[in-house]
Amino acid sequence: MKRSFWCGIGALSLAGPVHAQSLTGVWQGVEAETSEPSAYWPSVLRVQKSTGSILFGVLYQEVGGNSGISVTFRMKGTRSKAGLALEHGDKLSETGRTPLSHWCDGAIAFTYDAALEKLTGHATYRPVGTCDVGTFTFYRIKLKSAATVPPGAVTAVRVSGRNVLWYADADLKQPVATGNTYRTRLTKTTTFYLKQGYYPTEQSPVVPLTIKVAGAGPKPAARAAPARRDTLRPAPLLPLAPAQPVVLPTVLFRVGTTELLPEAAPALDQLAAELQARPALQLRVAGHTDRVGEPDKNLTLSEERAAAVKNYLVKAGVPAERIGTVGYGDARPLYPSPDARNRRVEIEAVK
């Protein structure tokens, strides 16, 4: 943690006439491209408006690959025509502190992309130790389609954010979709619960999203098929025929280990049920890592994580001989490193 973070925001300014845009809410993202190219710092910024032009906020950041090293700061600032200025206040908490470590502080200038709900920031730190500059990218989840839809109509619910995960329940036990668009039919007002898989942290927020149902539904056809009662049933994880590998975005592990996180259970339980319903189908599980660490160790870790998924499925009742495993280490990244999405598990139907 030689040059881990900045200890607050000295100034936050946005290009253009942004005074009409609200930047309050929860932003999730990462600091990267610093003087340590292999390092990254997942982060969450919460901004809340108070009376007048006063703004309050909380900044949380942790060391990529080691959530045990983190810091949380209280933020305070004001809004102006040109943008927004925040200053760090009290340190609310810190974990993993050592006598030789410190958090950098300075200023950061953001540009705001309203279409993507994205903040791109360039930080300049006070020259203490190895502190110099950093680059930030934040996204927030925000509804981009109609908040009210007619009953029974095919509806495309669209949101902003990166690697969005949709759930039907607040406990995140019922995954229903991934991505920025979810096509569904709603017969009553429904609340979804969304998370971003983009550099998740211990503080990653769950965003409730309520879609109201009102008005007249579509006219029924002369011989309409019976309506599906379960509009939130998850789509199959596996295609009916062999296809390209499918990423399981919620199947995650504790950093540097083969221990599955609790949010992996719904997707793996669904996968086990699909395999049991299709007894002729065989599966290959592939493990991948990012390029942080030594290649040989990454290869071993990816193989062990694929084996951990297999063990879960076997315990759920799937015969072991129907599941193969392979590990590719850091050899097949999907995104430029560093990116937490490269630490993934993929499944592929092989028969």
Residues 135 and 168 in one domain: no
Ramachandran category for residue 329: left, alpha or beta (phi over 0 → left; psi -120 to 50 → alpha): left
**126 and 153: one domain?**
no
DSSP assignment letter at 263: G
Give domain status of residue 240, yes or no. no
- For residue 260, pLDDT over 80 is answered with yes
pLDDT tops 70 at residue 231: no
Distance between CA atoms of 10 and 131, rounded to whole angstroms?
A: 15
- The reply to whether 115 and 154 lie within a common domain is no
179 and 304 assigned to the same domain: no
The β-bridge partners of 196 are: 164
Q: Is the pLDDT of residue 320 over 70?
A: yes
In angstroms, the CA 49 to CA 67 distance is: 29
Where residue 185 sits, what CATH number does that domain have? Answer: 2.60.40
Examine the domain organization and report whether 58 and 106 are in the same domain: yes
**pLDDT for 106:** 77
H/E stretch holding 149 reads: strand 148-149
Looking at the structure of the chain, the number of domains it has is: 3
Both 74 and 105 in a single domain? yes
User: Does residue 158 sit within a domain?
Assistant: yes
Cis peptide before 338 (omega within 30 of 0): yes
Instruction: Please check whether residues 200 and 255 belong to one and the same domain.
Output: no
Confidence of residue 83 (pLDDT cuts 50, 70, 90): low
* pLDDT range class, residue 57, cuts 50, 70, 90: confident
| Whether residue 200 is found in the same domain as residue 266 | no
Q: Give the per-residue pLDDT at 235.
A: 58
Domain match, 134 and 160 both: no
The answer to whether 72 and 59 are in contact (CB under 8 A) is yes
What does the pLDDT read at residue 242?
46
Q: What is d(CA 102, CA 131) in angstroms, rounded to the nearest whole number?
A: 10
The Cα 203–Cα 32 span in angstroms is 19
Same domain for 35 and 52, yes or no, is yes
Q: What is the CATH number of the domain that holds 28?
A: 2.40.128.120
pLDDT at residue 227 greater than cutoff 50: no
Q: Mean pLDDT, to the nearest integer, of 75-102?
A: 76
Domain endpoint, select from 96, 117, 139: 139
**In this structure, what DSSP letter does residue 147 have?**
S
For residues 133 and 197, membership in a common domain is answered with: no
Percent of the chain with pLDDT over 90: 29
Whether 260 is covered by a domain: the verdict is: yes
CA 195 remoteness from chain centre: 6
19-28, 107-116, 134-143, 238-247: segment of lowest average pLDDT:
238-247
- Please tell me the distance from the alpha carbon of residue 172 to that of residue 169, in angstroms, as a whole number: 5
Which tokens hold the place of 36?
């340590």
- DSSP notation for 191-214: EEEEEE-SS--TT---EEEEEEE-
CA distances from 10 to 41, 74, 84 (A): 18, 12, 11
- Check whether 62 has a pLDDT greater than 90: yes
Residues 132 and 159 in one domain: no
pTM for the structure as a whole: 0.59
Other beta carbons less than 10 A from residue 228's beta carbon: 9
Residue 1 counted as domain residue: no
* CB-based contacts of 224, cutoff 8 Å, min separation 6: none
pLDDT band at residue 276 using 50, 70 and 90 as cut-offs: confident
Name the residue with higher pLDDT: 351 or 166: 166
User: What confidence tens digit (pLDDT) does each residue in 169-213 have?
Assistant: 999 888 888 889 999 999 999 999 999 988 999 899 999 999 999
* Domain containing residue 168: 148-213
Residue 260 DSSP symbol = B
Positive/negative CA dihedral, 311, 309, 200, 105: positive
Range list of β-strands (E), 25-144: 25-32, 41-49, 54-63, 66-79, 83-95, 104-113, 118-125, 133-139
| 267 inside domain | yes
Question: Which of 111-120, 145-154, 223-232, 299-308 is predicted least confidently?
Answer: 223-232
- Distance in angstroms (rounded) separating the CA atoms of residues 106 and 6: 6
Q: Which two tokens stand for residue 212?
A: 């109201």
- Cβ of 85: how many Cβ atoms within 10 Å? 17
Q: Give the mean model confidence (pLDDT) for residues 20-46.
A: 82
Of the candidates 139, 172, 193, which is a domain's last residue? 139
Q: Residue 338 belongs to a domain with what CATH number? A: 3.30.1330.60
Per-residue confidence band for 223, with pLDDT thresholds at 50, 70 and 90: low
**Phi/psi at 263 (5° precision):** -70, -5
Asked which of 29-38, 150-159, 176-185 is least confident by mean pLDDT, the reply is 29-38
